[in-house]
Homo-oligomer: A and B are copies of this chain.
């Protein structure tokens, strides 16, 4: 089995944790993982956890002089960025250092739904861009300018942020405040994925020469918002809350948020909802149109290993759900 040396930024975050677990459990390659940790975070318990799992942990300041980063990345095959979105600017510095160090493949921090490159969400690339110093599309374009090997991986919308509210309140513990209302009539399909399965996809994709310099859409199954709620009704025996928002209301709310800087988190939720819930961007059809490969077509053997939504909802009803963002964004 091939040994692949991976460096990862954001290893203790929600996506990063899934990726580390996926790489360590992989049977596609033997992954040697180095976690690049910001100096002030080195003493956190999550970092000690990484070391216990067998991850090499090094202190790394992405804004340090390039030669320091290049030294850390020399000999690394793949760099994965699962960086906090507000720090995308450092991701460009990381890409420059990866190029200088001879890294073969750079995985920029996408790990979200399929979205056209421009004009749909601020996270991807939309004007006014003043909310974020740097956007995902900027990083990708920078990568292309410096001719660095890359793979974009989008994973659809997580099960963990797709849980509808039950009137009894018994699953409130697993809900996020970024929970979305039903867009329109809730009939637009969108690719959903268990956050815990993201790493399984990543472990396949970064060992695969077919995905070099390509975008890959890794999702488990298409669901409409209505189907999601019907499923929760069936499993819970309750009738879950159904809040509707018309496409026009979503559009108006986005416009309102754009003029009010205090609503910066809400705007991302609404723009995502518009993209996957109204426009229908988060589907294999749009993904293929935009040039993505589809992970389930590349790795049919993986499909049976992915958690079905039914199973995660049962876990939530059993009190075993998780609220991936923690209290700050939850």
Contact = CB atoms under 8 A, between A and B. Distances in A.
A299 B50 CA distance: 52
A138 B138 CA distance: 13
A211 to B, nearest CB: 13
Contacts of A117: 141, 144
A167 to B, nearest CB: 38
A234 interface: no
A286 B147 contact: yes
A116 interface: yes
A118 B141 contact: yes
Contacts of A118: 138, 141-142, 144-145
Contacts of A120: 145
Contacts of A116: 141, 144-145, 147
A145 B147 CA distance: 25
A273 B288 CA distance: 34
A213 interface: yes
A141 B117 CA distance: 6
Contact of A289 (B119, B138, B147, B291): B147
Q: How many copies does the complex hold?
A: 2
A290 interface: yes
Interface in A210-258: 213-214
A290 B144 contact: yes
Contacts of A290: 144
Contacts of A138: 118
A172 to B, nearest CB: 37
Contacts of A144: 116-118, 289-290
Interface in A17-38: none
A213 B289 contact: yes
Nearest to A212: B289
A119 B142 contact: yes
A319 B117 CA distance: 48
A119 B147 contact: no
A185 to B, nearest CB: 20
Contacts of A286: 147
A142 B117 CA distance: 9
A213 B291 contact: yes
Q: Tell me which of A116, A286, A290 has the highest count of chain B C-beta atoms within 10 A of its own C-beta.
A: A116
A104 to B, nearest CB: 13
9 contacts: A116-B141, A116-B144, A118-B141, A119-B141, A119-B142, A120-B145, A144-B289, A213-B291, A291-B291
Given A118-B138, A118-B144, A147-B289, 13 more contacts: A116-B141, A116-B144, A116-B145, A116-B147, A117-B141, A118-B141, A118-B142, A119-B141, A119-B142, A119-B145, A120-B145, A147-B286, A213-B289
